[in-house]
Amino acid sequence: MLSDSKIRAAKPKAKLYKIADERGLVMLVMPNGSKLWRFRYRFDGKEQMLSLGVYPDITLADARERREEMRRKLAHGQDPAVQRRIEQIAKADTFEAVAREWYQKFSGQWVPMHAKKVWARMEKDVLPWLGTRPIADITAPEVLTVARRIEGRGVLETAHRAVAAIGQVMRYAVATGRAQMDPTASLRGALPPIKTKKHMAAPTSSKQVAEILRGFEAFKGTLQVGIALRLLPLLFCRPGELRQMKWAEVDLDKAEWRFVASKTNVDHLVPLATQAVALLRELQPLTGKKVYVFEGRPGRPLSDAAINAALKRMGYDTQNEITGHGWRAVARTLLAEELGFRPEVIEHQLAHAVPDTLGRAYNRTKYIGERKHMMQVWADYLKGLVVKRL
């Protein structure tokens, strides 16, 4: 721990060296005799160092006060270096200043993968051209020029996403009194439309799945929706079947869920992995005395838009990244390609109409031994993805 006497006694050497105080505060003693205050901290898994001033202009007491200010920012999930940059450029009300403020305010509600993509796109495609412009002066033609520059690279979808992000920043500027209008509102139809994809949006790699699952773990909405989000990947049933799940259909002791499949209208059985049972037991004190496991209004299940609405609030593009229904495609692909399960076993668990010489009434329990094993292996695999950094 430093004291004024120790600081005064520190003499320069041929190379700079550090002397530590505590709680991240250090002093750099330079070869020329200068003594510089630095704050060492970790943010997002990376060690960083932030300047706090020069001794003796900034005394030991001053440096400790500034260190505590930085630690308070960290405690609120803010990167002190980013916050300093925001404060430095905020007076000018440039597009970059407002964009950083907007991102800092809202990105905590998004999943990490989406947040990183949004800011990476902003830094690459928007800030170099609009960053230093006073936000109140930005016009629709300027934004269109930015968008067409991106479109010219052959990435039309990215151009649309950039315009959408610019629009969010502009609307935030309007709401906070730093701009009069959102110029992107005038650009409707200025870019060619994106061709609609016919398949249900779903992640295509284990890395993408891992990022989304970590986002689900950090979901800040209601307990019911949070558990529904985490159960869908485990059960890969149709979202409508999950939201209409009834407690009478669930046997937690046997780890089974029995119901009539909505599309094939046949009895279906879903073996519940230990992780799924744990989630349902967590929800049981809240809705266990009600009809529906996921109750919306009294006596009614969650609305059919609840899952996708939650995904959108978390920052997902439900047209191109993931939908509630998309987990069925994820499971079908990864169970076969990554975990090596037989297609017919997977298809039965998906409650698809599979040819059966014994009759469709037997589909509920066919391959049940393999299916129970598969569902537990699948749940363990997903848990491993969350824990492991790919």
Residue 36 token pair: 């510089």
Asked whether residue 131 falls in the same domain as residue 275, the answer is no
Residue 334 lies in a domain: yes
pLDDT at 91 over 60: no
pLDDT at 237 over 60: yes
| Predicted confidence (pLDDT) per residue in 43-54, tens digit | 888 889 999 999
Listing DSSP states for 191-228 in one string gives SPPPPPP-SPP---SHHHHHHHHHHHHT--S-HHHHHH
Catalytic residue among 160, 325, 332, 371: 325
Of 219 and 111, more confident:
219
Catalytic residue among 207, 263, 300, 312: 263
Q: What is the pLDDT of residue 84?
A: 80
Q: Residue 202's closest CA among 245, 235, 226, 236? A: 236
Residue 127 lies in a domain: yes
Burial class from Cβ neighbours inside 10 Å (0-12, 13-18, 19+) for residue 324 reads buried
Domain count, the chain: 3
Residue 360 lies in a domain: yes
Of 380 and 306, more confident:
380
Asked whether residue 336 falls in the same domain as residue 364, the answer is yes
Cβ contact 239:232 at 8 Å = yes
Asked whether residue 282 falls in the same domain as residue 157, the answer is no
In a 13 Å sphere around the CA of 9, the CA atoms on its Cβ side amount to 6
Q: What is the pLDDT of residue 378?
A: 94
Which of the residue ranges 64-68, 239-243, 280-284 would you say has the lowest mean pLDDT? Answer: 239-243
* 94 DSSP 8-state letter: B
Residue 192 lies in a domain: no
pLDDT at 61 over 80: yes
41: annotated active-site residue = no
Cβ contact 292:246 at 8 Å = yes
Asked whether residue 176 falls in the same domain as residue 267, the answer is no
Asked whether residue 52 falls in the same domain as residue 137, the answer is no
Q: What is the CATH number of the domain that holds 360?
A: 1.10.443.10
Q: What is the pLDDT of residue 358?
A: 39
Measure the CA–CA gap between 387 and 298, rounded to whole angstroms.
37
Which of the residue ranges 41-45, 76-80, 178-182, 206-210 would you say has the lowest mean pLDDT? Answer: 206-210
263: annotated active-site residue = yes
Catalytic residue among 17, 105, 153, 362: 362
Measure the CA–CA gap between 96 and 112, rounded to whole angstroms.
21
Of 136 and 204, more confident:
136
Asked whether residue 96 falls in the same domain as residue 38, the answer is no
121: annotated active-site residue = no
Q: What is the CATH number of the domain that holds 46?
A: 3.30.160.390
Asked whether residue 243 falls in the same domain as residue 380, the answer is yes
Asked whether residue 234 falls in the same domain as residue 254, the answer is yes
Of 318 and 281, more confident:
281
Q: What is the pLDDT of residue 195?
A: 63
188: annotated active-site residue = no
Q: Global pTM? A: 0.50
Asked whether residue 213 falls in the same domain as residue 171, the answer is no
Percent over 90 (pLDDT), the chain: 49
Of 390 and 152, more confident:
152
Q: What is the pLDDT of residue 206?
A: 80
Report whether the peptide linkage leading into residue 355 is cis, meaning its omega lies within 30 degrees of zero.
no
Catalytic residue among 290, 352, 360, 372: 352
Residue 115 lies in a domain: yes
Catalytic residue among 328, 332, 348, 371: 328
Asked whether residue 41 falls in the same domain as residue 110, the answer is no
Residue 123 token pair: 């830094």
Residue 371 lies in a domain: yes
Catalytic residue among 66, 114, 160, 238: 238
Supply the range of the domain harboring residue 15: 4-79
> What integer best gives the mean pLDDT of the chain?
86
Asked whether residue 286 falls in the same domain as residue 220, the answer is yes
> Where a domain ends, among 160, 187, 214?
187
Asked whether residue 228 falls in the same domain as residue 178, the answer is no
238: annotated active-site residue = yes
pLDDT at 199 over 60: no
> DSSP 3-state assignment of 268?
strand
pLDDT at 280 over 50: yes
